[in-house]
Amino acid sequence: MRGVRREGGRGGGMCSVPGLQADCEALLGAFQEADTVRFERFAELWRERRFHAIFYGRIRALERNKFTKKTLELVQQYFLPPYAFQIRVGALYLLYGLYSTQLCQPKQKIRIALKDWPEVQRFQQDLIESQHYDAAYIFRKLRVARAFHFTAMPKLLNYRTKKKIQENEFKEEFKDPSNRVNSLITNDVLEELMNIHDHYQKMKCVISADKSQPDKALSLIKDEFVVNLKDITLEHQEWQQKRMKLFLNAKDADEIPNREEEGTSLASEGSERANALAKIKYRSYSAVAEASKSRRHRQVKLESSDSGSDYGKSQSRSRKNSKRPQAARNRGSAEIQGEMRTMKETLTRHVGMPVITEEETSDEEEVPLPKRKKRR
């Protein structure tokens, strides 16, 4: 396809299978509380709940297909940002469990939209690099099982009456905690600010009497403002993290190695922050984005901070971009088309055509048996 533009946004409600969202969130929540990304632990939680039975009951084939599709669609969302790393791993396991235990024949697939695929690949890379081999293995198993449909849009469009469509509500506790601030103040932004600030200082020097430092009259901005901004960001993250009580359990065994390198993850205070400030001064801007990833479960930290720096950018491709007004307009024009047709139908009466009135009985309930075409 030369170009596929998106239209109409994320069609359909979050999930119309009653209870399902609560069950999935309870499982993911328990996994989050367990403070691990190990598959073994996930499997325990799954078995405790006998989650395989989620597909049980006397359900007809068509209904089962629909229900399974919706289940995978629901869970797939937790597999992507803005959810935190650990939730995303949990969602991966949950997708694997649901995909493997579903009763459809052939199996319903997990939709991955074109725009999300780079993010998914990055995630897989992260899993490998941080040596979460169980998670990487589960992902690989899904690939090999051809569990994915690669689609242009996250969801299949479906047309229902407007009022049934509701915006998704994301579970706040599952989100990557520093997400919004982080997406606003990225490494790039700080770098850029620093450059501009330097440039500004130089410009001021050039027009000042003493070329080595700017005139006092030109001192309209605080010299340290980039550092301050950074500081505020860090503080905000800390506050948020405390409030969420996320991963603050120092017992996490996985995490002990490389603590020094991970210092900027803001789990500990004081010296870490001083450290971060020092880093800023050396123009090493790896802290903010790295911290956001909540990668405290990593055993080995990424060498380069590059992979982290575009993390924030991917966030800015906001999910809110859906063009709802457009969709509404489309619907409207279809309506007008319909009206025009009925008008035309009443106006134009073809010569040689019979007069047929519309039948009152509904045709939807009564299904005629497939009949042989009785021609002649």
Partner 1 sequence: MFNGCSVHCSSVDMLLPPDEEKDPEVIPEDSSLLTLRIRKKALERREETIIVDRACRQETLAYEMESHAIGKRPDNPVDLVEEGELLLTLNIFYPVIFQKHKDHKPYQTVLVLGSQKLTELRDSISCVSDLQIGGEFSNQPDQAPEHISKDLYKSAFFYFEGIFYNDKRYPECRDLSRTIIEWSESHDRGYGNLQSAKMEDYTFNDLSLRIGFPYLFCHQGNCEHIIIITDIRLIHHDDCLDRNLYPLLIKKHWLCTRKCFVCKMYTARWVTNKDSLAPEDPCFFCDVCFRMLHYDAEGNKLGEFLAYPYVDPGIFN
What are the distances in angstroms from CA 247 to CA 34, 37, 322, 366? 9, 12, 33, 58
From candidates 82, 90, 97, 263, binder to partner 1 by CB under 8 A:
97
Position 78 contacts partner 1 (CB under 8 A) = no
Lookup: tokens for 376 = 């002649």
Question: Per CB under 8 A, which region of 170-178, 262-270, 310-318, 360-368 contacts partner 1?
Answer: 360-368
Least Å distance between CB 107 and partner 1? Answer: 8
d(CA 19, CA 173): 19
Position 39 contacts partner 1 (CB under 8 A) = yes
**Token pair 């600030």 is at which residue?**
197
Phi, psi of 213 (to 5 degrees): -150, 150
From candidates 33, 47, 219, 284, binder to partner 1 by CB under 8 A:
47
Q: Which of 138, 26, 120, 140 has the alpha carbon at shortest distance from 77? A: 120
Least Å distance between CB 207 and partner 1? Answer: 51
Q: Which is nearer to partner 1, 163 or 216 (CB)?
A: 163
From candidates 57, 144, 211, 304, binder to partner 1 by CB under 8 A:
57
From candidates 14, 101, 120, 200, binder to partner 1 by CB under 8 A:
101
Binding residues for partner 1, how many (CB under 8 A)? Answer: 95
Question: Per CB under 8 A, which region of 208-216, 300-308, 309-317, 342-350 contacts partner 1?
Answer: 342-350
From candidates 12, 32, 46, 185, binder to partner 1 by CB under 8 A:
46
Q: Residues with Cβ < 8 Å from 40, sequence gap 6 or more?
A: 134
Strands 110-113 and 148-151: parallel
Instruction: Write out the binding residues for partner 1, residues 270-329 only, by CB under 8 A.
Output: 327
From candidates 30, 38, 268, 279, binder to partner 1 by CB under 8 A:
38
Q: Residues with Cβ < 8 Å from 15, sequence gap 6 or more?
A: 21, 70, 73, 74
From candidates 29, 34, 49, 189, binder to partner 1 by CB under 8 A:
49
Q: Residues with Cβ < 8 Å from 165, sequence gap 6 or more?
A: 11, 12, 13
Q: Which is nearer to partner 1, 47 or 202 (CB)?
A: 47
Helix axes 85-101, 133-144, angle to 10 degrees: 40
d(CA 332, CA 323): 14
Least Å distance between CB 215 and partner 1? Answer: 57
Q: Which of 286, 288, 315 has the alpha carbon at shortest distance from 303? A: 286
Phi, psi of 119 (to 5 degrees): -65, -40
From candidates 40, 169, 260, 303, binder to partner 1 by CB under 8 A:
40
From candidates 19, 169, 172, 251, binder to partner 1 by CB under 8 A:
19
Tell me if 137 sits within 8 A of 92, measured CB to CB.
no
Q: Residues with Cβ < 8 Å from 104, sequence gap 6 or more?
A: 64, 65, 68
Question: Per CB under 8 A, which region of 206-214, 220-228, 235-243, 347-355 contacts partner 1?
Answer: 347-355
Q: Which is nearer to partner 1, 56 or 239 (CB)?
A: 56
From candidates 31, 32, 51, 126, binder to partner 1 by CB under 8 A:
51
Q: Which is nearer to partner 1, 95 or 288 (CB)?
A: 95
**The total number of residues written for the chain in this structure:** 376
Q: Residues with Cβ < 8 Å from 134, sequence gap 6 or more?
A: 37, 38, 39, 40
For residues 122 to 151, the per-residue mask of contacts with partner 1, x marking binding by CB under 8 A and - elsewhere, is: -----------xx--xx--x----x--xxx
Question: Per CB under 8 A, which region of 39-47, 163-171, 238-246, 275-283 contacts partner 1?
Answer: 39-47
From candidates 13, 14, 20, 165, binder to partner 1 by CB under 8 A:
20
Q: Residues with Cβ < 8 Å from 371, sequence gap 6 or more?
A: none
Position 256 contacts partner 1 (CB under 8 A) = no
